[in-house]
Amino acid sequence: MKKQLFAAAIATTIAMTMTVPAAFAQADAPAAVAQGSAKAAADQYLKQNAAAYDLQADIADLAYVTTIETGAATYVRYQQTINGAPVFTQQVTVTLDKSGQALLAVSDYTPVTSVEPIKSRKLTENEADDKAVEHLNAKGKGLWEKTSRQFGYMVQDGVAVPIYKILVHANEPFGAWENYVHAETGKVLKSKNVNQHATGTGKVFAPNPIESQGSTTGLTDNNDADYAALTAQMKTVSLLGLDGSGYLKGQYATIMSRAKTYSASLTFNYGRNSDSFEDVMAYYHIDTLQRYIQSLGITNVNNRSIVVNNGKYTADNSYYSPSTKELTFGSGGVDDAEDAGIIAHEYGHSIQDNQVPGFGNTVEGGAMGEAFGDFLGATHEDALTPNTTYGKYCVGEWDAVSYASGNPPCLRHLDENKVYPRDAVGQVHADGEIWSQPEYEMAQVFGRDVATKIIIQSHWSLTPNSGFVDGLRALRAADQALYGGAHITQINSIFGARGITAN
């Protein structure tokens, strides 16, 4: 949630002024040459028109910042101050033509009726740092070096409030966070992510070459080689939320790979024989999934830049680590990060751990975790190929091409019609197919959006030792909270067909 403290008050006191006073028609600003400098011309213009811009007559509280000259005009910038300290974001610029004539003043200047005193003790810069980090809950979560600490003021209802402006870089929550910390009480009055997110482009499978082609014809791993049939299944996509550094690092994913993928132009086009291709895949699909979840109005689930390790683990396996909170994708067989279903599945584990730390401490809980990953993977795949039924009720087709013979090959199916407890074998992946089928059928009956909202909402009700009965009760409670219980009868029927019932 965005902090909106003082937003209304500031809006009423800060008025952006773009005014050319009537006096300008009489050319009351002297030429720069006559005054000796652009600054002198701008100073005199502001003094002569101080009343029109609500400035002090002597403009003594405007500190000169800089003069920028271009071929067309000259721009003189000032900073509003109080007792020599800046009033943050409050500036004035004067535009001069080639002859030194003032063309325009743009002013953020805010009249100050009083200055709030520090009655007891002023915080030190280090104390203000700590308050900002505490407010972000960023301590111990990949905190970067704090890049600036500055004392100044912000204006609220005409009162200048003493504050520190603390800029904190953090991986979680990801961004460059500008925090206004009250210089006496330590209260954070405003917090804003000032990162300017960049958009890049790259080539990916969406979701994987088998499902997008609609068959396995001509598609094999071939020892990670490039060939025409695979290249034909690549799609150029936008990579959102990048931090502009040239690396695949952004709002919802930070790729840490052997390839150290970098592009100054933010163009990431690689063949699948390059480890960088898997980096682009992981970034795009994780970012897409988190943006989808947030589009449902869910903004507090795994809302962070998750670290993804690629190319360092050579087994044909991938995993999420609850201890490091990171994802790792293996390169055995088909590289796991070449398949969006596998990426989504592992991201599902990170979602559940984010909601219920330690989740899956029982076999049934572990099965529910594997099932949710398969649900997330299968519905993500379906959304990327809405015009085909090939691969439906199946996840990880491309990854499975190296070890499964079905058409399509599947890591796991979501239509095995297993019934609890008859078909439970005490293994989380196998038993996960008991739970994944009804979750996936919810998406078929209610639509992906409704099913995903109910399922993710239900996780909040669970504990590390929860099992199938707890899960069903949590789903019904989530539907009651979200939709007034409109889907409860169908939920009971869908899960009842799998032998899962609850009072």
> Predicted confidence band at 26 (pLDDT cuts at 50, 70, 90)?
very low
Q: Do residue 203 and residue 346 come from a single domain?
A: yes
Strand partners, 413: 394
3-class SS of residue 178 = strand
pLDDT of 5 > 70? The answer is: no
Q: Do residue 485 and residue 368 come from a single domain?
A: yes
CATH (domain of 382): 1.10.390.10
| Residue 443: inside a domain | yes
pLDDT of 237 > 90? The answer is: yes
Q: Do residue 202 and residue 351 come from a single domain?
A: yes
Q: Do residue 210 and residue 245 come from a single domain?
A: yes
Query: Which percentage of the chain shows pLDDT scores above 70?
Result: 90
3-class SS of residue 200 = strand
Alpha-carbon span 107 to 54, nearest angstrom: 9
Q: Do residue 218 and residue 345 come from a single domain?
A: yes
Q: What is the mean pLDDT of residues 92-96?
A: 93
Count the neighbouring beta carbons within 10 Å of the beta carbon of residue 439: 27
Nearest CA to 178 out of 136, 141, 123, 120 is that of 136
pLDDT of 27 > 60? The answer is: no
List, in sequence order, every beta strand (DSSP E) within 35-113. Answer: 62-69, 74-82, 85-96, 102-107
3-class SS of residue 107 = strand
Residue 180 is given by DSSP the state E
Q: Do residue 79 and residue 209 come from a single domain?
A: no
Count the neighbouring beta carbons within 10 Å of the beta carbon of residue 267: 12
Nearest CA to 301 out of 406, 159, 455 is that of 455
Residues 434-455 pLDDT 10s: 999 999 999 999 999 999 999 9
Minimum mean pLDDT range among 2-16, 70-84, 331-345, 368-382 = 2-16
Minimum mean pLDDT range among 160-164, 240-244, 412-416 = 240-244
Minimum mean pLDDT range among 207-211, 244-248, 379-383 = 244-248
Q: Do residue 71 and residue 160 come from a single domain?
A: no
pLDDT of residue 37: 83
pLDDT of residue 197: 81
pLDDT of residue 99: 87
Domain count, the chain: 4
Inter-residue contact 179 to 168 (CB < 8 Å): yes
pLDDT of residue 146: 60
Q: Which two tokens stand for residue 496?
A: 């009842």
Average pLDDT, the chain: 89
| Residue 132: inside a domain | yes
Q: Do residue 237 and residue 335 come from a single domain?
A: yes
Alpha-carbon span 98 to 95, nearest angstrom: 10
pLDDT of 28 > 80? The answer is: no
Q: What is the mean pLDDT of residues 68-81?
A: 88
Inter-residue contact 502 to 473 (CB < 8 Å): yes
The terminus-to-terminus CA distance of the chain in angstroms comes to: 36
pLDDT of 145 > 90? The answer is: no
Alpha helices, DSSP H, located in 307-426: 340-355, 363-384, 397-400
What is the domain extent for residue 181?
Answer: 125-193
Q: Do residue 371 and residue 442 come from a single domain?
A: yes
Count the neighbouring beta carbons within 10 Å of the beta carbon of residue 383: 17
Q: Do residue 350 and residue 436 come from a single domain?
A: no
Which has more pLDDT, 7 or 323? 323
Chosen domain end from 193, 219, 241: 193
